Amino acid sequence: MNALPAALVPAMPHLLAGDPTSSWAELATATRTVGDRLRAAGVETVLLLSTHWFTVLGHQVQCDDRLRGRRTDENWYRYDYGHLAYDVTVDTELAHRWADAIDADGMQARRTRYDGFPVDTGTVVASQLLDPRGQGRWAMVSCNLYADPSAMAAVAAAGMRAAGQLGRRLGVVAVTGLSSGLTGRWIDPGEDRVEDTHDRWNRKMLDAIRAGDREAVLAMSPQYAAAAQADSQFRAFAFLDGAGAVDRPGEVLAYGPVWGTGAAVVWWGEPTESRET
């Protein structure tokens, strides 16, 4: 594969439920498929942005070589998927290069290496589904919500440059929700649905992604953020764009609700490969 393999995957822990509803199960299966494809593409390290690792000062790059622990989610603790174990290996050589590249571009990198650092739920969920055997390596950056969304594109570009210097075979993944209209009560999973306005917006954005129309997606993002409370103003797409990953049609592997929010799995592979529906 010559094109940069890339994906957008959900952040919510419901994908790891022992007894998932059909939407959660489809999203989980599609995320596992993305993991299979990343391995098939020979990816050595995944450049990862999780919007649920949100920060406000500079761009934090995870520099701990191994993140191991348990996470009890502060909202979902009453469910099995609120209790997550993780064991993630970080490509620290790339992480440090990435931080250097961020600094070199006039932004502020924060090298993050602290015992007991609370890895966010999105990173835990995505890493478990994409890499169930824990054999992959990751380079992770936080999502600065106070910087302009376009800053995430510059951060991704810096990561690509750093990976190029090291000759890494790279994949790029953004962990994010779509619309954020969370259902504010305890529901039976079977009642899970995305409200109509948000659903229309999600589908409109996914249609533009399917068409490979990155300019339309970027142009619509502010409106999408306002109309559908898009997760982190859809900074995830800006990140993928900065990596040069979305200049071709994306393959939507799954779309559905997670507790009222919109979630999708999108894959960007070789531009000429045959597409599933």
**How far, in Å, are 36, 64, 171, 266 from residue 40 at the CA level?**
6, 27, 11, 17
Q: Which two tokens stand for residue 169?
A: 């075979």
Contact in structure between 13 and 121 (CB atoms under 8 Å): yes
What six digits make up the tokens of 5?
Answer: 């393999």
Binder among 97, 110, 198, 214 for other proteins (CB under 8 A): 110
Residue 107 or 216: which CB sits closer to other proteins?
Answer: 107
* Binding-site member from 118, 134, 164, 222 for other proteins (CB under 8 A): 118
d(CA 171, CA 267): 11
**Residue 177 structure tokens:** 């929700």
- Site size with other proteins, rule: CB under 8 A: 43
State phi, psi for 272 to the nearest 5 degrees. -100, -5
Between residues 110 and 214, which has the closer beta carbon with respect to other proteins? 110
Q: Do the beta carbons of residue 67 and residue 124 sit within 8 Å?
A: no
Question: Which parts of 69-88 interact with other proteins (CB under 8 A)?
Answer: 70, 72-75, 77-78, 82-83
Site for other proteins in 24-63 (CB under 8 A): 51, 53-58, 60
Q: Is 18 one of the binding residues for other proteins (CB under 8 A)?
A: no
Q: Which is nearer to other proteins, 170 or 228 (CB)?
A: 228
Judged by the rule CB under 8 A, the positions of this chain that interact with other proteins are: 51, 53-58, 60, 70, 72-75, 77-78, 82-83, 107-108, 110, 112, 114-118, 120, 142, 144-147, 180, 182-186, 229, 231-233, 259
